[in-house]
């Protein structure tokens, strides 16, 4: 474990975990955090050298195109859903992920600014994700040239999108990547890692899940994807930390996918915090995770090539 990771984890214990305990406790706090997120969108943070950003508008939401280099295959795309518990963050807060994902995937990333709570509902976020995917298809991107990815709540949205596309008999993307996915919104208590996670308090995650599932069936696969049937879904990569309070959900997603004969690339990084790839500017392990994503996408491309060759023969 790098000294950078040790230092940041220690900082999280004293800052992010207490802040999460306060924010995920009262509806007014959620509304305030969402408002701060809206104001943060107005702050213009310069992109790293060689990275370009371009704003995009869809039917009910927006987003931004992120290009992590000059030599990219513009026929292909990554559709990315940021995390934030469905009430905070935006594409601009996750650029350290999206530009690197663009670079390792060799294609532009469309980071979706989907609608979130407390004003909007889970169904609105899913509608925005499906609309964006259909928009990419209508613009001439073949389904096999699309990768869907997301972290935390965005990992939840990634899985829900895959299940919804499959159920609607729409063409599926070639692969999906989930970083620390929040996949179970039922009222089940989270006992594993509740004292080891340096960032997320288990009781507050449970409180937030209750709020977002009010009036819904929490065992509906589009609400809690971990209870879904993954049959027919594309290859899936799951990246998580060993001490995360959400780690067991990632394990269960991998197990459900394997039971459905979905190729799964599962990585559990020792002692890494929630969505640690976002720390790639300072943490070596986070940068290494993107190299592993590149290997996963290379394996997917090789698999597609072999399947295509067999079909042609």
Q: Which residues are catalytic?
A: 152, 244, 274
Q: Which two tokens stand for residue 267?
A: 């990585």
- CA-nearest of 250, 227, 216, 186 to 122 is 216
Compute the Cα dihedral for 141, 61, 50, 48 and give only its sign.
Answer: negative
User: Residue 64: which of 54, 51, 73 has the closest Cα?
Assistant: 54
DSSP state of 280: T
- Three-state DSSP at 295 gives helix
Give the CA count within 13 Å in the CB-facing half-sphere of 121. Answer: 7
Cis peptide before 53 (omega within 30 of 0): no
Q: Rounding to the nearest 10 degrees, give the CA dihedral for residues 202, 212, 12, 268.
A: 70
Residue 309 neighbours by CB distance under 10 Å: 9
Is beta strand 62-67 parallel, antiparallel or unpaired with respect to 77-81? unpaired
The DSSP code for 64 is: E
């Amino acid at each position: 474990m790098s000294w950078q990771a040790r230092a940041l984890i220690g900082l999280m214990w004293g800052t992010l975990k207490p802040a999460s305990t306060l924010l995920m406790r009262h509806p007014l706090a959620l509304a305030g955090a969402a408002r701060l997120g809206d104001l943060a969108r107005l702050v213009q943070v310069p992109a790293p050298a060689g990275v370009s950003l371009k704003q995009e508008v869809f039917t009910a939401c927006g987003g931004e195109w992120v290009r992590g280099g000059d030599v990219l295959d513009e026929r292909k795309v990554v559709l990315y859903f940021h995390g934030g518990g469905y009430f905070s963050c935006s594409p601009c807060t996750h650029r350290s992920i999206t530009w690197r994902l663009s670079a390792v995937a060799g294609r532009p990333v469309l980071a979706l600014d989907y609608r979130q709570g407390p004003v909007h509902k889970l169904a609105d976020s899913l509608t925005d994700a499906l609309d964006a995917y259909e928009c990419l298809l209508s613009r001439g991107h073949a389904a096999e040239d699309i990768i869907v990815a997301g972290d935390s709540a965005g990992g939840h949205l990634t899985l829900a999108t895959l299940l919804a596309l499959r159920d609607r008999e729409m063409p599926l993307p070639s692969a999906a990547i989930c970083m620390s996915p929040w996949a179970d919104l039922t009222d089940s208590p989270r006992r594993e890692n509740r004292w080891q996670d340096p960032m997320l308090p288990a009781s507050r995650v449970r409180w937030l899940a209750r709020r977002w599932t009010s009036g819904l069936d929490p065992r509906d696969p589009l609400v809690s994807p971990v209870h879904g049937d993954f049959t027919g879904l594309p290859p899936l990569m799951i990246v998580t930390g060993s001490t995360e309070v959400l780690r067991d959900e990632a394990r269960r997603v991998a197990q459900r996918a394997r039971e459905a004969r979905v190729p799964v690339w599962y990585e559990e990084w020792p002692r890494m915090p929630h969505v640690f790839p976002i720390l790639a500017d300072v943490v070596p392990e986070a940068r290494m995770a993107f190299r592993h994503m590149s290997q996963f996408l290379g394996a997917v491309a090789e698999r597609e090539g072999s399947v295509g060759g067999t079909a042609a023969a």
